[in-house]
Every structure is written in C-alpha cells, then in structure tokens.
C-alpha cells in the first residue's frame, strides 16, 4: 500500500520517471558501446605495433607489458601461435598454455576478431589485481588475429567482467540511490546459459553501495526465504519471481519485445518487490550473443518525493500560525506591549523564514555553485558530489548535477585514455622514423660505393682494351715474317728439285737460312713481348674478376637493405639489380678473356718450342749443307716446319683479333652500364633526398603531435577523476 499511496500523491511523476529511465538506459547503453569500442581501438593499435616489430621478440614482449601498464582495464596481454599455444605473455606464468579449445582461437582461424565472455577463468586470479576494488574470476577475453611473417598470430586481452559492470553501475547514474540497479542478463547464446541469467555484477552484490541487505550476506524475502550468492552475481542469480518461479515480467517483455518500459504499476523482481524501469537489448561488438540490460528501482522510491513548494509553504504556514497564536496570547495578557510584541514576532518570523530558506534553498544551491565554479576554473575535482539526501527539487537538482559531473568525468577519462594511446603510438612512429632515416643513409652509402666501383671497372676495361690493341698491332708488325717464310718455302722447293746442283746452291741456301735465322730471332723477340703482354692481360682480368665479385656482393647487400626499407627502397632495389646484372656480364666476359689468354699463352709456348727446334735444325742444315747434299732434305723439313709456324701464327693472330673484338664489346657494354648506373644513381639520390625531406617533415609532425598530446595530458591531469 506504501507504493500506491506515494503514487497517488505524486502520480504526475509517472511521465517524468519514464523519461528518467529512458535517459538512464540510453546513457548506459551508449557508455557500454563506447567502452567496447575503446577496447577494440586499443587492441587494433597494439596489433599494428606488433606487426611492425614481428621479427623482434623482445620488442613484442615490451609492447605487451607496456599495454598492460598503460591501460587500466587490461589485466593480461598475450599472443597465441597458429596452434593456439601462448608464445608471449605479459604474465610469464601463462606462457605455453594451450587455448586451442577457446572460441577465440577457432574464430581466429577464420580471421575473425572475437569477444568471449563473460566466463569463469581461474587463470585470471593468478594476475595482479592492480588495486581493483572488485576482482573475481569472471572474465572477458578479447582476441584479434593478424599475420606476422606469413604466420597466424592472435593477440588476446584479458579484462575483468567487473570493469564492464563498472560502466553500467556508475554510481552517479543511479538517480534512485536506495534501490536503483543496472544489470545485464543473457538473452541468446550458444553456451547453454539460461535466459535471464545475470552476466554482470549487481549494485547490491556486497555492502559497497548499500548498508542494507546485499546478495553476499543474503537478501530476505517476505515468504520465499533468502536470496544469496556464494562468490559473484554472474551465473548465480537468475532473475525470476520467487512466487511464480518464472522470469519476472520486465525480463520477459525485454526478451520478447526487444525493450520494455514500466514505471507503474511495475512488476515483482527476484525479491518479489515491485520495481519499475527500462529494459533493452544489447549486441556486443564481435560477439555472437545477445544481452539484455535492465535499469530498475523500487516503485516505492520512484514516487518518494516531497515537493519543496509544499514543504516550504507548510513550514512557513506553521511558523506563521505559531507566531500569530503566541502574539495573540501575549497581547491579551500584556496589552500595553502589543506593538513591541508585534515587532518582535515580525523580526522572529523574518529570522525563521531566513534560516529556513537558507537551509532548504540557499545552502544546497551555494554548494552546487561552489562546485561548478571550481570545475569551471579548470582545476576541478570531478570526484566531488553535491548532497542528494533530500527528496525534493533541490535533491533532484543535485542528482542530475552529479550525473552531469559524472558524464564529464567519464569523458575526461576517455580523453585521458586516448592521450595515452596517442603517446604510445607517437613513440612507435618516432622509432620507426629513426630506423627509416638510418636505413636511407646506409642505402645512400651503398649506392655511392656501387657507382664508384662501376666507374673504376670501366676504367679497367678501357685499359685492357688498349693492351689487347697493342698486342694485335705487334702481330700485324710481324707480317714480313710470313713473306720471309714464303720465300724460304720457294727456295727450299727449288733446292729439292735441283739436288744435283746442291753444291752450287749451298751458298744461296746458307744465305737464305741466315736470313731465316735473323727473322726467327725477331719472331722470338716479338713472341716474348706477346707473352709478357699476355701475362699483363691475365693480371688485369684477375683484377676485373675480383672487382666483379665485390660489386656482386655490394649489389646483394643493397638488395637486402632495400628490402628492409620496404616501399621506400624499391627504387634502390632496381638499381641494385642493374648493377648485379652488369657484374654478372663482367664475370662472364672476364671468364671468356681468361680462356682466350690461356689459349694464347699455350700457343706461345708451343711457338717458342717450335722456333727453338727450327733454330737447331737451321744450324744443323748449315753444317750439313756444307758437308753433304742431303741438306736438301733438311731444307724440305725446315720448309714444312715453317709452314706449320705460319699456320700457328695465323691462328694466334685470329685469336688476338677475337680477344680484341670481345674487349671492345665489353668496353661498350661497360660504358652503357656506367651511363645507366649514373642515371639510376642520380634518380636514386633524388628519391633518397625526397624521402629524407618527408622523413624530416614527419619528425616535425610527430614533435607537434607529441607537444599537443602533452598539452592535452596536462589539461586532463588538471581534473581529479579518481
């Protein structure tokens, strides 16, 4: 009957109460959505950092520890591998735990982020509590899959369900302090959790917010015993009416219709006490469950209101009546002092009215004004609240003012969290920028070295071309040797045909052989020079081969450096590939030259040997010709040998010409490569310069953002929010 009498007296509050619960419900639902979105933003930021340092295990572990340190909600941050095993964790004791049976892992195999929970996890109790007032095993597990070096990795974040409950149980959102409660219940899930089961902490779980009955000590009902929990509200309470054993009507209507609003006559809750409020459904991001949220208060408190207008009017009327009767009584006994008594009672009436007005109106308004002034100055303590003990307009003003301050405090907290995230991101971007700058410097040095080597290599090719030209010219200068050999062949043929006249021709043959001997000495001298030049060419080719190997190694290093630089190093990778191709062409050409020079040196050795033989035979022929006509046969042999020498000399000349042509072609390619290399180097240096300028600008932007975040952090820290 108490509820009915209060409703009859304040039935005009029904629409206002409905509006209040609508506002509370929308506000708590929006706050919960913001909370979820904030957690996912933090997680995505961490994932991006982990991808950028995927090759550095120590850096990854540092990032996990840093995230737990900076974000109050994060109890643990850990990474799963493709088998579902914990490979890195901010809490070392959980390393190597197998979580492959968790739905987070199964969702990650399909590249889906997931929020699992609330669920009970004893592993949560192993973690530091971070001085949280509410701390139990009920957990939320967030997971975000990503690729690191073409391997699946899963970032998981462990958060207390109590932290989520704090969002909807924000004390300042409870306009009805005595009985107001906001709670979540299960609507739809695949975990076989019954509908109507509590999945958030009740405001009355313990004595934190209430000095009356609470669920841990036991809530007494009129006829249905005691409602009590063992450890936590979640999963132990099902919101049924004890009289019917069915879900109470507010829960049923919210499940059936998606929402429910009832501020009169209300419905019996799990205590079988009439309550009213607003119910709505919630779908958490990256979850396959549907939850319900109820914002309720007892009907008796909803309509517990005494208008200040009525209270003040009755009080003034009572004071006036007392003063009137007292004045009448005194004037009756002391008529001579009637004027004095009237003045005294007027003054007393004024004083009492002043005191009453000050206590009921002015003092509460002044407290609110002082608090508002403190906050307006920018150094406000947002944890302070005005008194809301009175059930009148001043009390209502205080409640809504406190709710406004609470909203501002939550906004400042969110800004503070955003500043923390910005600072962490700026540090990571700054570190990456420094690394890029260092890599660009290394690439610039490598390009310069490669360019210098190309120029040096081209100079060696030109030198080789000149040496081979000199050798070819020396062969051309010995063309008279062929003529002499032809003359000798003709004369030896004549000697053979006129063997009978050998004595007469002896002197002529000896003379010819003497000329031949002189020519052979000239040939030996030329061949010696040719051998020396061949050795010089061999040394030059060895030098070219060494430089080519070094160039190839430098090109490989440049390719590696360019790969580390990512997109910024693509231009350098092209230059490195061109230089690598040039080095390969050089290696092939030098190998051909080496083979040709080897062939020349072999032919020179054979030529020297044959010339020595010819020399011996010539001397023998001179002696034999003087002694015997058999010298003709020796002359024929000499003629044949000379023919062979001529053929070998022709072959050597052809080989030298081939070498000369190859050297010429190599020199042309070298000049082209040097020209291309110079152009590519110039382009690469221009790109490096542009990247360097952009990196410098990025550093300045980072510094500006860092200064801005410091300023914003200073502003946030000027407010007390804890």
Q: Could you report the per-residue pLDDT of 24-49, keeping only the tens digit for each?
A: 999 999 999 999 999 999 999 899 88
Confidence bin at 178 (pLDDT 50/70/90): confident
Q: Where does 348-393 show beta strands of DSSP type E? A: none
Report which of residues 189 and 335 the model is more confident about.
189
Q: Whose structure tokens read 């704090």?
A: 166
Question: Per-residue pLDDT for 144 more than 80?
Answer: yes
pLDDT for position 515: 66
pLDDT for position 421: 67
pLDDT for position 597: 66
d(CA 90, CA 541): 60
Q: What is the pLDDT of residues 434-462, one digit of tens each?
A: 666 676 666 667 667 766 666 666 666 56
- 2-302 and 434-683 share one fold: no
Other beta carbons within 10 Å of 50? 22
Question: Per-residue pLDDT for 124 more than 80?
Answer: yes
pLDDT for position 161: 98
pLDDT for position 499: 46
Report which of residues 550 and 694 the model is more confident about.
550
Side-by-side strand order, sheet with 114-120: 86-89, 74-80, 151-160, 138-148, 114-120
Question: Per-residue pLDDT for 478 more than 60?
Answer: no
Going from N- to C-terminal start, the domains of the chain cover 2-302, 308-376, 434-683
pLDDT for position 128: 94
Report which of residues 289 and 600 the model is more confident about.
289
Query: How distant is the alpha carbon of residue 714 from its chain centre?
Result: 27
Report which of residues 52 and 369 the model is more confident about.
52
Report which of residues 629 and 113 the model is more confident about.
113
Q: What is the pLDDT of residues 204-224, one digit of tens each?
A: 999 888 767 899 999 988 888
Q: What is the pLDDT of residues 670-712, one digit of tens each?
A: 566 656 666 666 776 676 677 666 666 566 556 655 665 665 5
Report which of residues 245 and 642 the model is more confident about.
245
Contacts of 339 (CB under 8 A, 6+ apart): none
pLDDT for position 633: 58
d(CA 530, CA 365): 115
The pLDDT mean for the chain works out to 77
Contacts of 704 (CB under 8 A, 6+ apart): none
Specify the DSSP element, H or E, that contains 492: helix 479-497
Question: Per-residue pLDDT for 259 more than 50?
Answer: yes
Most confidently predicted of 86-95, 330-339, 412-421:
86-95
pLDDT for position 248: 95
Task: List the structure tokens of 98.
Answer: 């197998």
The architecture that CATH gives domain 434-683 is Orthogonal Bundle (1.10)
| CATH fold label, 2-302 | Beta-Lactamase (3.30.450)
Omega before residue 665 within 30° of 0, cis: no
Query: How large is the average pLDDT for residues 706-721?
Result: 58
Other beta carbons within 10 Å of 694? 13
Q: How distant, in Å, are the alpha carbons of 474, 519, 648 from that of 482?
A: 14, 10, 11
Report which of residues 273 and 335 the model is more confident about.
273
Side-by-side strand order, sheet with 181-188: 181-188, 290-298, 274-282, 259-268
Confidence bin at 308 (pLDDT 50/70/90): low
Q: Is the pTM of this model over 0.95?
A: no
Confidence bin at 105 (pLDDT 50/70/90): very high
pLDDT for position 607: 66
């Amino acid at each position: 009957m108490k509820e009915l009498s209060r409703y009859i007296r304040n039935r005009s509050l029904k629409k206002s109460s409905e509006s209040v619960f609508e506002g509370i419900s929308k506000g708590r639902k929006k706050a919960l959505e913001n909370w979820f979105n904030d957690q996912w933003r933090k997680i995505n930021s961490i994932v991006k950092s982990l991808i950028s340092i995927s090759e550095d295990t120590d850096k990854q572990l540092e990032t996990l520890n840093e995230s737990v340190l900076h974000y109050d909600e994060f109890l643990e941050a850990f990474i799963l591998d493709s088998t579902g095993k914990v490979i890195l964790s901010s809490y070392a004791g959980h390393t190597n735990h197998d979580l492959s049976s968790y739905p987070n892992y199964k969702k990650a195999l399909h590249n889906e982020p997931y929020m699992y929970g609330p669920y009970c996890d004893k592993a949560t109790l192993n973690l530091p509590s971070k001085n949280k007032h509410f701390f139990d095993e009920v957990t939320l597990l967030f997971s975000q899959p990503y690729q690191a070096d073409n391997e699946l990795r899963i970032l998981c974040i462990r958060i207390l369900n109590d932290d989520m409950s704090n969002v909807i149980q924000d004390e300042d959102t409870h306009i009805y302090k005595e009985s107001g409660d906001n709670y979540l219940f299960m609507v739809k899930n695949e975990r076989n959790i019954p509908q109507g089961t509590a999945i958030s902490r009740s405001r009355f779980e313990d004595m934190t917010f209430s000095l009356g009955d609470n669920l841990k000590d036991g809530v007494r009902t009129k006829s249905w015993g005691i409602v009590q929990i063992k450890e936590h509200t979640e999963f132990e309470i099902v919101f049924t009416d004890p009289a019917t054993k069915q879900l109470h009507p507010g829960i049923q209507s919210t499940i059936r219709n998606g929402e429910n609003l009832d501020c009169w006559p209300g419905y019996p809750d799990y205590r079988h006490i009439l309550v009213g409020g607003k119910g709505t459904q919630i779908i958490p991001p990256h979850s396959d469950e549907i939850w319900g949220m109820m914002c309720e208060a007892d009907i008796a408190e909803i309509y517990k209101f005494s208008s200040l207008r009525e209270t003040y009017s009755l009080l003034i009327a009572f004071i006036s009546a007392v003063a009137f009767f007292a004045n009448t009584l005194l004037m009756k006994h002391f008529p001579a002092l009637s004027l004095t008594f009237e003045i005294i009672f007027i003054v007393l009436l004024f004083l009492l009215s002043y005191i009453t007005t000050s206590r009921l109106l002015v003092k509460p308004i002044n407290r609110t004004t002082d608090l508002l002034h403190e906050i307006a100055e920018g150094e406000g303590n947002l944890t302070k609240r005005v008194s809301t003990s009175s059930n009148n307009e001043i009390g209502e003003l205080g409640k809504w003012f406190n709710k406004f301050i609470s909203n501002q405090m939550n906004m400042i907290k969110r800004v503070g969290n955003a500043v923390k995230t910005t600072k962490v991101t700026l540090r990571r971007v700054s570190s990456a920028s420094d690394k890029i700058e260092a890599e660009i410097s290394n690439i610039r040095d490598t390009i310069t070295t490669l360019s210098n080597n190309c120029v040096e290599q081209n100079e060696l090719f030109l030198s080789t071309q000149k040496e081979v030209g000199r050798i070819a010219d020396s062969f051309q200068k010995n063309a008279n040797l062929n003529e002499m050999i032809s003359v000798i062949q003709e004369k030896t043929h004549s000697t053979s045909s006129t063997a009978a006249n050998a004595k007469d021709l002896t002197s002529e043959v000896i003379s010819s052989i003497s000329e031949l001997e002189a020519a052979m000495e000239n040939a030996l001298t030329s061949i010696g020079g040719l051998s020396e030049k061949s050795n010089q060419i061999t040394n030059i080719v060895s030098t070219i081969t060494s430089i080519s190997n070094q160039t190839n190694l430098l090109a490989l290093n440049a390719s590696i450096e360019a790969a580390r630089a990512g997109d910024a190093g693509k231009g350098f990778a092209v230059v490195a590939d061109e230089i690598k191709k040039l080095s390969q062409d050089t290696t092939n050409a030098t190998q051909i030259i080496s083979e040709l020079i080897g062939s020349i040196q072999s032919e020179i050795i054979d030529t020297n040997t044959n010339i020595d033989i010819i020399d011996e035979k010539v001397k023998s022929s001179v002696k034999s010709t003087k002694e015997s006509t058999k010298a003709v046969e020796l002359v024929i042999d000499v003629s044949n040998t000379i023919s062979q020498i001529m053929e070998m000399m022709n072959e050597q000349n052809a080989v030298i010409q081939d070498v000369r042509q190859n050297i010429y072609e190599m020199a042309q390619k070298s000049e082209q490569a040097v020209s291309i290399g110079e152009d590519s180097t110039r382009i690469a240096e221009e790109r490096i310069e542009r990247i360097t300028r952009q990196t410098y600008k990025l550093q300045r932007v980072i510094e500006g953002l860092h200064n801005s975040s410091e300023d914003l952090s200073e502003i946030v820290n000027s407010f007390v929010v804890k």
